[in-house]
Amino acid sequence: MSKQIRNIAIIAHVDHGKTTMVDQLLRSSGTFAEHEKVVDTVMDNHAIERERGITILAKNCAVSWKDTHINILDTPGHADFGGEVERALSMVDGVVLLIDAQEGPMPQTRFVTKKALALGLRPIVVVNKVDKPGANPDKVINAAFDLFDKLGATDEQLDFPVVYASGINGWSSKEEGEPGAQWGPDMSALFETILEHVPAVQGDANAPLQLQVSALDYSTFVGRIGVGRITQGTLKPGQQVAVMAGPDGKAYTGKINQVHTFQGLDRVQATEAGPSEIVLISGIENIGIGETVTDPANPQPLPMLKIDEPTLTMNFCVNTSPLAGREGKFVTSRQIWDRLQKELRSNVALRVKETDEDGIFEVSGRGELHLTILLEEMRREGYELAVSKPRVVMQEIDGVKHEPIELVTADIEEGHQGGVMQALGERKGELVNMEPDGRGRVRLEYRILRVV
């Protein structure tokens, strides 16, 4: 159990280069053979992710650097998939926050950073794309400090290390260099910063077992697979365990069949695993996200994962139009309900409930994109259904109705400024900041009610 381990999550606003950076970390660590052909954004292995060029699901991989096993979680950048970010952060001890050297911190940079700081994680700030025209690393670092300060970061979190990088070209540096030049030879500067600033193994290997399931997978050979991080204790194949849904949940017992760890993009069978290791376990068919796998003789369950509430809701129902039955093979309300229940097992930010009307189900998610991706997946699987117009979810807090509010950033040419301001003003948008860049573009920042 003397294995050197680091667990990190890569977080950022959408399109700031998370998945490309993971590609380079995998390449630099020697994960791929010389002759091996590797596709770009190799972690985006979902068909819709490749088509849309976005990350939807948080995914695990691992690399070895100087005898240290580094587990890396690639997370989505869209706030709509915040549930994926929240469960991923529960497995790590540090975060690598990527910020575009030209755009600086964006609204969803704020969203993911707030989650990380609230969990007490210390960020490593990577100023990515420093070789872009118009890059201004110093301004980005100052903006990141101001953002951390506004989010209530501790003194330790405000004293963050900075790494400059070009993810697309595969180099990083601890020192700022000349514009247009390559500042570092490879990704070693980022690896060294991770080893220096991310906490090593934490937890007692001899204490009662404690492992919280943060993700689910499925295999036709072994059934449902739970993915999680061991907080304390030791886990072995064939071990008898208790499974609990939080301190107040009922316990049921089971037997671990196989234990795997991550190595590169592969899964490697393990004879035992200890504290801080991220493992995949099989053998417990009904295991769910947030549940704790613990010692049956001395159970010590962890609190269930806290996930932000949905902001939009839609009705999913049977297609009753004149063209019904022409596209899908799963068309009944029971089939649609069963598919939504299956989705709930892994999509932690989704909410589904039956309505008073027969065959109509109310499905709530974090945003338009969250619900759109679910609908597209169901369509591709052969489900045919009808949906209603999205509606904003209102919440009553202390007797007062509250609407979800978003931060909107519009980076536009100055010639379109009037039209954009008028459109956002009609939607009750409140202008927070306006910043021209001196080169014909302007950035508008608004607080706006969630509207559809």
In a shared domain, residues 123 and 65: yes
Q: Which pLDDT belongs to residue 1?
A: 47
Summarised one tens digit per residue, pLDDT across range 13-56 is: 888 888 888 888 888 877 655 445 555 556 666 678 777 777 78
Residue scoring higher pLDDT (396 or 239): 239
Q: Which pLDDT belongs to residue 81?
A: 83
Residue 351 reports pLDDT greater than 70 = yes
* 168-172, 199-203, 366-370: range with lowest mean pLDDT: 199-203
End of a domain among 169, 197, 225?
197
In a shared domain, residues 165 and 275: no
In a shared domain, residues 53 and 152: yes
Residue 273 reports pLDDT greater than 90 = yes
Task: Note whether residue 240 is domain-resident.
Answer: yes
Residue 2 reports pLDDT greater than 70 = no
CATH number of the domain enclosing 161: 3.40.50.300
Task: Note whether residue 299 is domain-resident.
Answer: no
Q: Which pLDDT belongs to residue 212?
A: 92
Q: Which pLDDT belongs to residue 33?
A: 53
Q: Which pLDDT belongs to residue 30?
A: 73
Give the pLDDT mean for 175-186: 85
Residue 111 reports pLDDT greater than 90 = no
Give the pLDDT mean for 276-300: 91
In a shared domain, residues 343 and 437: no
For the chain, the domain total comes to 4
Task: Note whether residue 203 is domain-resident.
Answer: no
In a shared domain, residues 246 and 158: no
Q: Which domain holds residue 108?
A: 4-197
In a shared domain, residues 146 and 176: yes
Task: Note whether residue 369 is domain-resident.
Answer: yes
Residue 115 reports pLDDT greater than 70 = yes
In a shared domain, residues 380 and 406: no
In a shared domain, residues 99 and 152: yes
Q: Which pLDDT belongs to residue 35?
A: 45
Secondary structure in 3-state letters for the chain: CCCEEEEEEEEECCCCCHHHHHHHHHHHCCCCCCCCCCCCCCCCCCHHHHHHCCCCCCEEEEEEECCEEEEEEECCCCHHHHHHHHHHHCCCCEEEEEEECCCCCCHHHHHHHHHHHHCCCEEEEEEECCCCCCCCHHHHHHHHHHHHHHCCCCHHHHCCCEEEEECCCCEEECCCCCCCCCCCCCCHHHHHHHHHHCCCCCCCCCCCCEEEEEEEEEECCCEEEEEEEEEECCECCCCEEEEECCCCCCEEEEECCCEEEEEECEEEECCCECCCCEEEEECCCCCCCCCEEECCCCCCCCCCCCCCCCCEEEEEECCCCCCCCCCCCECCHHHHHHHHHHHHCCCCCCEEEECCCCCEEEEEECCHHHHHHHHHHHHHCCECCEECCCEECCEEECCEEECCEEEEEEEEEHHHHHHHHHHHHHCCCEEEEEEECCCCEEEEEEEEECCC
CATH number of the domain enclosing 429: 3.30.70.240
Structure tokens that stand for 439 in this block: 């080169």
Task: Note whether residue 300 is domain-resident.
Answer: no
